[in-house]
């Protein structure tokens, strides 16, 4: 075989002794892709410094049959990864060589296209021996090559099902865009701070999981059902997390998949058909703080940090969740009506709620001069005092763990949130379940019943033998 190298006018050549010359580069490419077994190229000391493609023709010796032409992107030749990085994702994926007809014992058409999964050119081959007639083979081959060439020219890639350019986006870029989307949803009040915090954690873990894979995914089109299943197995089986945690990750993956679908990054929902494990047999264990420990906590906070005591009061008496407490403002508190209004924008269930404020809590607020601050101040800000800056619920948990639990030598099972469980449980001993339900803003009595003490759940002995007149 003889090979002839033909360069385009747009090529510029520069003398470079330390780099491989053009003849060597093309020869290596020909060897690697299997176009020919050997090559005799005109030696030159020039290398390509800038160009778009190299075109070469391959002819059979002593034959009129032109086998084909190939246009090859220069980055295929260049050593190192700098040349590739200069190209866009779409340019890399759309790199290809035009189809070529091979005749002989085996008739086939082949071409090379960039495979994102491997980061290299990959050969695609179509056999033609199943067509008996030579004439029909040639006719079919001609039409087929034209059709393939047209598809390749507009960006089709045989290794990618999607034809949208959005499918070529880097997986990491889509994740960054999703982070921006989450931030916007938080600003608009569509997502709660806790949701954003959880999803951000899941995103980081998903990135780490992908980086540690033997073959990490690079492009968003590779985000498929197999990836989701492997991630969920990693969370549930390998890391030995609970079914609840695994299902939380599934919820996150569904949200991320919906985002990708709506932006045409993918064409199929990869979470479709993946079921949650559910909470069967996982009854939530409520940790109630005993009375003697409550008294110790009260005395400690009154002396060490009365503002933390106020936060504990609101959790214990008003059942307002820590995440909601961080977004409460002084204007939400009415001394005249003795209420706290929880707006739907900060409520877990997205519903307004009016909560009774016990006199004991109001007295502590007055002692701390809470209402001397402007109404647009957050109730709990820096130092747990009223202020302009919104904080997170982490400040409550941190202070509780570092001071209350440590200094009083309490078990780790006694968390800050345990005050809410304890408050509901103790209130059920003194008031009817409907009143407690409303104070806790539960959607049904069934939720409130979870907190009902065991001795209250037992049948009333005085009623057992009651015989009415009916």
CATH of the domain at 309: 1.10.443.10
CATH number of the domain enclosing 175: 1.10.150
Which helix (DSSP H) or strand (DSSP E) does residue 296 occupy?
helix 291-304
**Average pLDDT score over residue span 155-183:** 78
- Taking residues 7-32, what's their average pLDDT? 40
Q: What is the pLDDT of residues 289-318, one digit of tens each?
A: 898 999 999 999 999 999 999 999 999 888
Pick 234 or 40 by higher pLDDT.
234
The pLDDT of residue 133 is above 60: yes
**pLDDT at position 282 over 60:** no
Q: Is residue 234 part of a domain?
A: yes
Distance between start and end Cα atoms, the chain: 109
**How many structural domains does the chain have?**
4
Tokens of 465: 């033998």
- Residues 50 and 103 grouped into a single domain: no
Kindly state the percentage of the chain with pLDDT values over 90: 32
d(CA 437, CA 449): 9
Q: Please indicate, yes or no, whether residues 202 and 302 belong to a single structural domain of this protein.
A: no
Average pLDDT of the segment spanning 176-181:
94
DSSP character for 384?
Answer: G
Highest mean pLDDT among 339-343, 345-349, 376-380: 376-380
Residues 156 and 172 in one domain: no
Give the residue with greater pLDDT, 216 vs 92: 216
Query: Has residue 329 been placed in a domain?
Result: yes
pLDDT at 132 over 60: yes
pTM: 0.47
Among 262, 281, 302, identify where a domain stops.
Answer: 262
Q: Are residues 117 and 54 both part of a single domain? A: no
Same structural domain for residues 129 and 231? no
Model confidence at 9, pLDDT cuts 50, 70, 90, reads: very low
Assigned domain for 405 exists: yes
Q: Tell me how far the alpha carbon of residue 259 is from its chain's centroid.
A: 10
Return the pLDDT at 444: 61
State the average pLDDT over residues 335-340. 87
* Same domain? 189 vs 135: no
Per the domain annotation, does 281 fall within a domain? no
Residue numbers of the domain that contains 145: 88-160
Given a cut of 90, whether residue 227 has pLDDT beyond it is: yes
pLDDT at residue 69, as a whole number:
40
User: Which of 141, 160, 179 represents a domain boundary (last residue)?
Assistant: 160
Residue 157 has pLDDT above 70, yes or no: yes
CA distances from 362 to 2, 339, 380, 418 (A): 95, 10, 15, 22
Kindly state whether residues 83 and 5 are assigned to the same domain.
yes
In a domain, 196, yes or no: yes
> Does 23 score more than 50 pLDDT?
no
DSSP 330: G
CA atoms within 13 A on the CB side of 170: 12
Per the domain annotation, does 10 fall within a domain? yes
Q: What is the pLDDT of residue 272?
A: 93
Residue 464 lies in a domain: no
Which run of H or of E encompasses 54? strand 53-59
More confident residue, 459 or 185: 185
Q: Does residue 154 sit in the same domain as residue 126?
A: yes
Within this chain, do residues 389 and 432 fall inside the same structural domain, yes or no? yes
Residues 78 and 101 in one domain: no
Res 454: pLDDT = 53
Q: In terms of domains, do 299 and 436 share one? A: yes
**DSSP summary character for residue 459:** P
Overall average pLDDT of the 347-351 stretch: 73
* Same-domain status, 240 and 386: no
Region 98-122: mean pLDDT is: 87
pLDDT tier at 36, thresholds 50, 70, 90: very low
Q: What is the pLDDT of residues 381-432, one digit of tens each?
A: 999 999 999 888 889 999 999 999 999 999 888 999 889 888 888 777 766 6
> Would you call 375 helix, strand, or coil by DSSP?
coil
CA–CA separation, 76 and 430 (whole Å):
79
Side by side, the strands of the sheet bearing 66-73 are: 2-6, 53-59, 66-73
Assess if residue 69 is contained within a domain: yes
Q: How confident is the model at residue 343 (pLDDT cuts 50, 70, 90)?
A: confident
The whole-number pLDDT of residue 150 equals 83
Most confident of 14-18, 41-45, 360-364, 451-455: 360-364
Boundary residue ending a domain (98, 128, 160):
160
């Amino acid at each position: 075989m003889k090979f002839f190298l033909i360069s385009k006018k747009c090529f510029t050549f520069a003398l470079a002794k330390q780099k491989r010359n053009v003849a060597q580069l093309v020869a290596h490419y020909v060897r690697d892709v299997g176009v020919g077994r050997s090559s005799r190229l005109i030696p030159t000391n020039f290398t390509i410094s800038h160009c778009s493609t190299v075109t070469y023709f391959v002819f059979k010796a002593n034959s009129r049959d032109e086998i084909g032409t190939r246009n090859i992107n220069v980055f295929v030749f260049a050593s190192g990864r700098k040349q590739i990085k200069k190209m866009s994702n779409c340019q890399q994926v759309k790199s290809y060589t035009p189809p070529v007809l091979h005749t002989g014992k085996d008739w086939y058409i082949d071409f090379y296209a960039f495979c994102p999964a491997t980061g290299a050119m990959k050969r695609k081959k179509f056999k033609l021996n199943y067509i008996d007639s030579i004439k029909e083979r040639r006719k079919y081959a001609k039409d087929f090559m034209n059709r393939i060439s047209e598809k390749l020219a507009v960006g089709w890639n045989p290794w990618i099902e999607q034809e949208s350019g959005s499918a070529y986006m880097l997986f990491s870029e889509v994740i960054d865009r999703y982070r921006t989307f989450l931030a916007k949803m938080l600003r608009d009040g569509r997502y709660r701070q806790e949701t954003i915090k959880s999803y951000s954690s899941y995103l980081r873990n998903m990135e780490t999981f992908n980086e540690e894979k033997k073959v990490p995914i690079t492009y968003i089109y590779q985000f498929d059902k197999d990836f989701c299943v492997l991630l969920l197995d990693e969370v549930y089986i390998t890391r030995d997390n609970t079914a609840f945690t695994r299902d939380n990750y599934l919820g996150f993956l569904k949200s991320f998949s919906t985002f990708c679908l709506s932006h045409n990054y993918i064409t199929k929902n990869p979470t479709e058909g993946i079921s949650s494990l559910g909470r069967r047999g996982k009854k939530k264990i409520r940790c109630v703080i005993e009375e003697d420990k409550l008294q110790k906590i009260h005395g400690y906070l009154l002396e060490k940090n009365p503002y933390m005591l106020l936060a504990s009061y609101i959790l214990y008496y008003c059942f307002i969740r820590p995440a909601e407490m961080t977004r409460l403002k002084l204007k939400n508190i009415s001394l005249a009506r003795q209420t706290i209004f929880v707006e739907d924008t900060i409520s877990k269930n997205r519903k307004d709620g009016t909560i009774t404020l016990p006199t004991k809590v109001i007295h502590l607020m007055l002692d701390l001069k809470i209402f001397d601050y402007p109404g647009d101040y957050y109730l709990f800000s820096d130092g747990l005092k009223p202020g302009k800056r919104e904080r997170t619920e982490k400040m409550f948990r941190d202070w509780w763990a570092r001071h209350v639990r440590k200094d009083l030598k309490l078990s780790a099972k006694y968390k800050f949130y345990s005050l809410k469980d304890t408050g509901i449980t103790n209130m059920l001993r003194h008031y009817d379940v409907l009143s407690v339900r409303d104070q806790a803003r539960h959607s049904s009595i069934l939720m409130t019943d979870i907190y009902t003490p065991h001795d209250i759940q037992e049948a009333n002995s005085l009623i057992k033998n009651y015989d009415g007149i009916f």
